[in-house]
Structure 1
Amino acid sequence: MSAGGGDGSVTDVSLAAVDRPGTTHVLHGSLMQGALRGLLIVFVAVTALLEPPHHGRWVYVGVSAAYVVAVACWVAWVVRTTRSDSGSRHVNQVTLLVLGVDIAVVGVLSVLTGLTSEEDWTSDVLRNGLFLIPLIAAAQLSPYISTVVAAPTVVAFVAVGWITQSANAEPWASISLSAAILAGLAAGSVALSRIQLTKVKLIAELAQQRTQLLHELLAVEKHERQEVAERVHDGALQYVLVARQDMEDVRAGEADAVDRVESALVEASRLLRDVARELHPEVLARLGVKAALVHLAAGVAERPDVGVKVDVDDWPDDERFDADYVLFGAAREMVTNAVKHARAQTIWITLRRDAATAVLTVADDGVGLSQAAITKSQDEGHIGLASIGTKVLACGGEFDVGFGQPGTRITIRIPLS
């Protein structure tokens, strides 16, 4: 079943998207990594153009060109991996390998320019490219990758500073301070990865809950339509068919046939009116949920073997809420269950407003419920209690069943708007 027409296409697509919650964030992370690596390539190229090394230019160009080729190969791999949905372990291995290439290229170029062009600032500037590495790692949204990359990046920075210290005449205090800043950036990237990953997992979980809720709502809707169809078919329609058959006797002039037709039509009208009242209770529409619950209790209390006590004094008389129909439908279903299945002698209905929340409680002194009994009932096709919970959750509320022997206590909380 699906919202689009019954062939399952809509919900199947939704479930497919939820079953692979990591695909989207991995793709976005790869795009961010690609953008940052492109920035790193531009940084290396612009630095060389503004202050090219005096010696070893072809080595510099060769290393830079090899890095561009490596990044291009990585981009092609990302495209292929996204389409084939490879395992996360394989993705992590390749990601760490390419990050190692990033560190090595920046380190090699910094050392190369520092040793061959001592009088220029090229090496000092290139070394700052290592500050981009923790950001590239953080884009993967993997605390593991960010942690593994952090230490080599700081070590490479210190090593480059140590190798080129005499050439650049840079004091250790400057190198240490810059290394400390890089270490702080790396630690921040680890924390950022953890925070973002938590958000991604939360969003995926909410999407999965939403899809499950959609399935349950569709099942409830199907069950309710089927129930209405069965009541009309087994009730009013049968009386109409009887009246149609008696019409032959009416045409034949039989006097009793007119009375039988009238009686059948009256009963059919009563049954149809009951169905319509349940679909859209007149009292609920005119006077609100408070009066509707009192009317519901009065109808049940007409039975000689059941007593109903209602407490709705804390509910406002002149206000209407979106939750009114859900509250009334839940109360009606729970009272019906208490009468038919729990064999309760007394039912308590309480409705109150707690700040901006409606709190409905229905309790009885019947035989009680258990989780096993609820599961068995649902397996047999009786989803009344499950449909209540689904509708309450769809309204952003809470549904709590208190199991006990004897009796059952069900509490519903729904935000009011």
Structure 2
Amino acid sequence: MEKTGLIFFPAFDWAISPTHPEREERLLYTRDQIFEEGVMDLPQIKEFAPRLATLHDIARTHFCVPRVQSQVTEAHLIAAGSTLQMGDSLVNKEIKNGFALVRPPGHHAMRVVHGNRGFCSINNEAILVEYLRRRHGIKRVAIVDSDAHHGDGTQDIFYHDPDVLFISFHQDGRTIFPGTGFIHELGGPGAYARTLNVPLPPGTSDETFLYVVDNLILPVLNDFKPDIIINSAGQDNHYTDPLGSMRFTARAYADFTSKLKPDLAVLEGGYAIESALPYVNLAIILALAGEDYSYVMEPDYWPGRFKENQDRMAQVKKMVDKLLETWENKNKADIQKIFGNGKYYQKKKFIYYDTDYIEEEQFEKVRVCPDCPGYIIIESRGDRGYKQPVRIFAVSVPFQACNACQNEAYEVYEEAKSKKDFDYIYMQDKSTDTCISFDKKKGQEWVTEG
């Protein structure tokens, strides 16, 4: 019998504060509900124990300032490691699909990590993707983010990667953190239209949600043909969530899961601990396992409770049509007209860490190469206000790097080591799975290989 794998990790010893919305009860109520319904006794359900990710698994994905150990606790390593366990079990055909119900969450953690933002320090899904590509030779990955908050961290990490399709539908960033995720954010010059964002108006309900799934997400996935589909399974689009303003139901989440057929799902947001999470997670698990979920219903919900506004539906349909047109014409796009024709595509970013109150100013340069996605250069300054700003220089070489870009990237790294402008300098070579960090003050360099 094909199995659905589950991992629970409530992270009892990690919390931002005792009363913070992101706390251990998010999973405890869910686990009680699942046991009460007898789900764990189903023959097609297989539970796995959590495991630790390595520091190198993190460094393969992130530039943690000043080092990985500075930004992660054991709870973070277990949450990320649990996704890797699910990935191994999937590739080894122990399961047909899996759901990592873990915390802390991760989809707001970007390539550079100065601290915690959006309750996230490291990006569980991104770490999983890089692990699967390195350890198991997975080539093409699709990530579908269903959180009410735009998955800006996941987008940032894969914005220039043509082999990772990132689709995020979320509450309009003009009305909610992190204020990003608009339809013009489509990926860099080497990965144009590999990022698709669907900012939904507040109040959007099931009908419009499933319209987006049927008319945009599924056709694009069918065309992209990923080797694996990962659902970044945020549940704060639920109508009772205290941090969002959407009107999705548990039944709609299950319908979405049934249609998407993700290979792996990883829990992200969702803060209605009693009124949403036990029902949504139960419905998702039943959908993954191929069981009947039609009787899963929140106590205060009745069919027809939420009527979709037709003007809102028309607005979303227009957006879906535009995004689908962009996807279908991605290979005809005039890349030079969109991004310029210089040696580098350059972009300045301002990033706010709402949990740790850090202001980051970042300058990103991507080598525009006809033979590969090009290496990435990042200059970043993190300012905590009461402390001396931390300045870093980082170089990231992609999996698909050509020899010319790889050699040039190492030259850039070595040149940066001689400059006085930076405190820490990093090299992340995904093509050889090598991560190097150089502490300018100490004059020390650390090299790790996978």
TM-score, reference length from structure 1: 0.20
Structure holding more strand per residue: 2
> Higher relative CO (CA 8 A, sep ≥ 6), structure 1 or 2?
2
Structure holding more helix per residue: 1
